[in-house]
A and B are shown apart, each in its own frame.
Chain A
Amino acid sequence: MPEQVIQEITNVKTEGGSAFNRVIRGIMPLIGLAAIFLVFYILTDGKLVKGNNVELILSQVYTLMIACTGVFLVMTVGGLDFSQGSILGISSIVISYLSFYSIPLAAVAGVAAGALIGVINGFVHVRFKIMSFIVTICTMFLFRGLCAYLTTNAPVAAVPGITALNALLWFKLLCTVAVLLIVYLAFRYTKLGISLKAIGAGETAARFSGIRVDLMKFIVFVLAGAITGFAAFLNVVKVGSITSTSGSQLETQILIALVLGGMPISGGVKVRFYNIIVGTLIFVILNNGLVMVGLDAAQQQLIKGIIFVIVVALTIDRKTLRVIK
């Protein structure tokens, strides 16, 4: 159906969107986080926050939250990146290989590998004007295939000593906070944020306002790749060796986490940086809680799927709904 029709139909419903609605929409993710926390706190008799489990929850947060930070930028301009899982896989393999020479070098190389895939994504998207979700689905398959090839005979193992870093709680926490902080400051206090939001809200008008739209879109994909490349470093630190399925499904986890955190799928000016943090926490607590309550994997999938659909239906901004770039 032509998009104007959708707009015509939906305009009518949303134009009454009052200030009250906007406030509710703004704090809804926080309410969601509190609700999910409370539900599982009660269902698990408080075991949710006991000793080991907090550490477990946190260990699931790091990689996801860092990767979300990059995709947050992509989604702000109205794009999507489905190649995230493959980026994590490839970068993890690169890191593992190089960890035998030098661990810092391996980390840098991981970032570079991620950025390189981002360059491919961004270049194809911008140069050939292909929608980003199509481009990144293609690269997802491409690099997933490469991952599988490189791990055909055996998992790729990193230098054994690398997992020692895993024991250092502050190290992983520090890395995560550092990435969040740097991106936050850049987003909030430089022209990056306002430019990306403007592109998401209206690409043509952004171009006519002097924003280098193509360049910004390219940069965003490179950043998303690089940031996930860094997340891969923490991933290697955590698991020590890489199999062909490392990082698979990461892209959907990111997407779900961000949307649960209140991120509008079409991007634009209504994105908020806290969407990353709240969303990741909701997602991880939900995951963890469902396991603790004793549901099997299939049931967990089912429940997560239902929650996702409900949240999208409740929060999607129909007024700005367009084809994802």
Chain B
Amino acid sequence: MGEIVLQAENVSKSFGITRAVRNVSLSFNRGEVRGLIGENGSGKSTFVSMLCGIHTIDKGRFLLEGKELKVKNQVEANRKGVSIIVQEMGTLSGLTVAENIFFGNEDKFVKYGIKNTTAMNRETSRLLEKYGFSHINASTMIDHYDFETRKLVEIVKATYFNPKIVVVDETTTALSQFGREELYKHIKRIKEEGNTVIFISHDLLEVINVTDTISVLRDGELIDTVKSCDVTEDELKRLMVGRELGSHYYRTDYGEAVSGEPVLKVEGVCVEGHVRDVSFELHKGEILGIGGLSECGMHELGKAVFAASYDRTGKVRLARGTEINSIPDAIRHRVAYASKDRENESLVINATIGDNICLPSIDDLAERGILKKKKMDRFAKKYADMLSVKMTGIGQFVSDLSGGNKQKVVLARWIGKDSDVIILDSPTRGIDVKVKADIYALMSELKSKGKSIIMISEEIQELLGMSDRILIMKDGKINGEFMRAPELGEEDLIVRMV
């Protein structure tokens, strides 16, 4: 295959005592789409961050076309021909689409110290048209667009200047099918233009389909590089984890009747602009899946049931008729909610693991209003250990943890609260296979203990694999209900989503 465009030579990086990347040497060919996979914390993101100047390199170096690549930030990396599309929001609010695309490169529109906005907008419109995104307006504030559209803007931003290396870091997790297709199209175009794409994703099937070759990292070390056309999902999983994984991580039982005893009743819930008159019942020991396209209102519905939306109408009642009208109500009556937005809503990122686990339970932990540190520590430790959170101690800050471990802390706090109804929004989003399997196992265990779960998910396989019953939403309304059955397939659900 073609000539080598980028080489990594013994690249290493440590954060404190954690050795995130160890002596990784890799070469990338011109016109290649290379997958980079590994569990959370295996060093994929750190590796590409060093390439793009987001992190400094501890040891080793990168060679771009034979010359050492030394960049201090992303703008510099762009100038050298390396760009990145990140997992989270990469656009800057308060700027227009055009300003975002040319951020750091406004110079070419500046004459005598004055920026020619018209020329910049014109150029942006031309680019957007070329990319097939003519529904996006160059001079509109980026804030007017939803997450997905902003991602499309990022694609333009990262690729318009024809960079030699484009890194796509877990971008697809946040995208709907439409957004993904658009991204694949542009990956293919970049490849055809003779440039190289480094593609990071947890969705192994996607990686196999999109890439030419795949490099596997584990614990910061390079394990192997394989050809995508002759590898299977299971082989990749084995390489990632280093041992055989049980092939069934979803539930395998079918046909066991769920009790008819309702624990939660949702009656005519509306949220302006998102949810329209939704009613359903949740039964004891049931896993109720809620699926749909990302804008169908299901994420808002989860918040509304937890009473976290500001303008909900309709009623949410427990079995005995208790109404849930505020978050403290919900928590007091053992309703739990794990948000899709883990970083902002599920966890106080800049606080310790211990504080995060104790927070919902502080009223239970207090004796006559008095909180004892020892008791809180014991409580936090018990549940962190129960979920085997990888940590240096409960005093560690949540911001230091990987995505999978963060989610474990979220679950630990709600299990510590002994929640009876658990609303999980995208519980395995951005989480690697091993932790994913842990989370599914935990859900089954909770179910067997008679707890009820509402699982909101954009992943159809997950819905089919885990739910006793599935509700499909479309345009804020329930548009289909399915009972668990082995013959139920993806197509059945998709038909109701679109």
Q: List the one stretch of A26-34, A84-92, A191-199, A239-247 in contact with chain B.
A: A191-199
Quick one: which of B56, B92, B327 contacts A210, CB cutoff 8 A?
A: B327
Contact (A191, B346) CB under 8 Å given A202-B351, A207-B327: no
Q: Is the CB of B89 within 8 A of A205?
A: no
The reply to whether A189 and B327 form a contact with Cβ atoms under 8 Å apart is no
Which one of A198, A206, A207, A320 has the highest number of Cβ atoms from chain B below 10 Å of its Cβ?
A198
Contacts of A12 in B (CB 8 A): 54-56
Give the distance in Å from the alpha carbon of A202 to the alpha carbon of B362 in the complex: 17
**A residues less than 8 Å from B330 (CB atoms):** 210
Which residue in chain A gives the minimum CB-CB distance to B332? Answer: A210
Q: Can you list, as one digit per residue, whether each of A178-205 has a CB less than 8 Å from chain B (1) or not (0)?
A: 0000000000011100110110011011
Stretch from B30-38, B127-135, B144-152, B369-377 that touches the partner: B369-377
Q: Does B216 contact A (CB under 8 A)?
A: no
Tell me if A2 and B347 are in contact (CB < 8 A): no
Q: Which of B15, B94, B371 has the largest number of chain A CB atoms within 10 A?
A: B371
Q: Select the residue from A5, A18, A205, A319 with max chain B CB neighbours within 10 A.
A: A205
**Given A2-B95, A190-B366, A198-B359, also A210-B349 (CB < 8 A):** no
Within 8 A of A (CB), among B89-126: 89, 92-95
- From A206, A208, A269, name the one whose CB has the most chain B CB atoms within 10 angstroms: A208
Report how far A321 CA is from B480 CA in the complex, Å. 46
Q: Which of B56, B347, B350, B359 contacts A194 (CB 8 A)?
A: B359
**Contact residues on A (Cβ < 8 Å of other chain), bracket:** 20 to 34
In the complex, residue of chain A having the shortest beta-carbon distance to the beta carbon of B72: A12
- Residues in A with CB closer than 8 Å to B352 are 269
Return the CB mask of A34-64 against B: 1 if under 8 Å, else 0. Answer: 0000000000000000000000000000000
B383 at the interface (CB under 8 A from A): no
Which among B93, B337, B350, B369 is the interface contact of A208 at CB below 8 angstroms?
B337
CA distance A204 to B350 in the complex (A): 12
Complex formed: what's the CA distance from A198 to B360 in Å? Answer: 11
**In the complex the two chains form, what is the Cα distance from A212 to B16 in whole Å?**
36
Any B CB within 8 A of the CB of A70 = no
Determine whether the beta carbon of A189 is less than 8 Å from that of B371. yes
Chain A residues with CB below 8 A from B366, complex form: 190-191
| B331 at interface by CB-CB < 8 Å | yes
The residue from A16, A202, A208, A319 contacting B15, defined by CB atoms under 8 A apart: A16
User: Chain A 11-24 against B: per-residue CB contact (8 Å), 1 yes, 0 no?
Assistant: 01001101100000
Contacts of A194 in B (CB 8 A): 355, 358-359, 362, 371
Tell me the nearest residue of chain A to B347, going by C-beta. Answer: A205
Which of B339, B351, B369 sits near A269, CB closer than 8 Å?
Answer: B351
Enumerate B353-412 residues with CB–CB distance to A below 8 Å: 355-356, 358-360, 362-363, 366, 369-372, 399
Q: How far is the CB of A78 from chain B (nearest CB, A)?
A: 11
Contacts of B331 in A (CB 8 A): 209-210
Q: Does B233 contact A (CB under 8 A)?
A: no
Q: Which residues of B contact A208 (CB under 8 A)?
A: 306, 308, 327, 337, 339, 345-346
- Which chain B residues numbered 39 to 57 have a C-beta less than 8 Å away from chain A? 54-56
Which chain A positions have C-beta within 8 A of B332? 210
A261 near B: Cβ within 8 Å? no
> Which residues of B are found within 8 Å of A268, using beta-carbon distances?
350-351
Contact of A320 among B15, B328, B350 (CB under 8 A): B350
Asked whether B93 lies within 8 Å of A2 as measured between CB atoms, the reply is: yes
When chains A and B are docked, how far (Å) is the Cα of A206 from the Cα of B332? Answer: 15
Given A194-B355, A207-B327, check contact A189 B372 (CB 8 Å).
yes
Q: Which of A16, A189, A191 contacts B363 (CB 8 A)?
A: A191
Query: In this assembly, does B259 line the interface, its C-beta being within 8 Å of a C-beta of chain A?
Result: no
Q: Are B350 and A319 in contact, with the CB atoms below 8 A? A: yes
- A4 and B348 form a contact (CB under 8 A): no
A211 interfacial contact with B, CB 8 Å: yes
Q: Give chain A residues whose Cβ lies under 8 Å from the Cβ of B306.
A: 208
Contact in complex: A198, B371 (CB < 8 Å): no
- Which residues on the A side are within 8 Å of B358 (C-beta)? 194
- Across the two chains, which residue of chain A brings its CB closest to B413? A209
Tell me, in angstroms, the Cα distance from A268 to B352 when the chains sit together: 11
Q: Given the complex, which residues of A lie within 8 Å of B370, measured CB to CB?
A: 189-190
Q: Are A16 and B16 in contact (CB under 8 A)?
A: yes
Q: How far is the CA of A320 from the CA of B308 in the complex (A)?
A: 24
Give Cα A194–Cα B351 distance, bound, in whole angstroms: 10
| A6 → chain B closest CB, angstroms | 11
Distance A19 CA – B400 CA, assembled complex (angstroms): 12
Q: How far is the CA of A211 from the CA of B369 in the complex (A)?
A: 15
Q: List residues 183-202 of chain B with CB under 8 A from any CB of chain A.
A: none
User: Is A191 touching B344 in the complex (CB atoms < 8 A)?
Assistant: no
Nearest-neighbour CB distance to chain A for B16, whole angstroms, equals 5
A296 to B399, CA, bound (A): 47
Pick from B55, B328, B344, B371: contact of A202, CB below 8 A.
B344
Query: In the assembled complex, which residues on chain A have CB atoms less than 8 Å from the CB atom of B56?
Result: 12
CB contact between B348 and one of A16, A189, A205, A212 (< 8 Å): that residue? A205
The 23 sampled A-B contact pairs (Cβ below 8 Å) are A2-B92, A2-B93, A2-B95, A12-B54, A189-B371, A190-B369, A191-B363, A194-B358, A194-B371, A197-B351, A198-B348, A201-B351, A205-B344, A205-B347, A205-B349, A206-B359, A207-B327, A209-B359, A210-B327, A210-B330, A211-B328, A269-B350, A320-B350
Interface residues of A (CB under 8 A from B): 2, 4-5, 9, 12, 15-16, 18-19, 189-191, 194-195, 197-198, 201-202, 204-212, 268-269, 319-320
Knowing that A18-B16, A194-B359, A208-B346 touch, tell me 4 more A-B residue pairs with CB under 8 angstroms. Answer: A198-B359, A202-B350, A208-B337, A210-B330
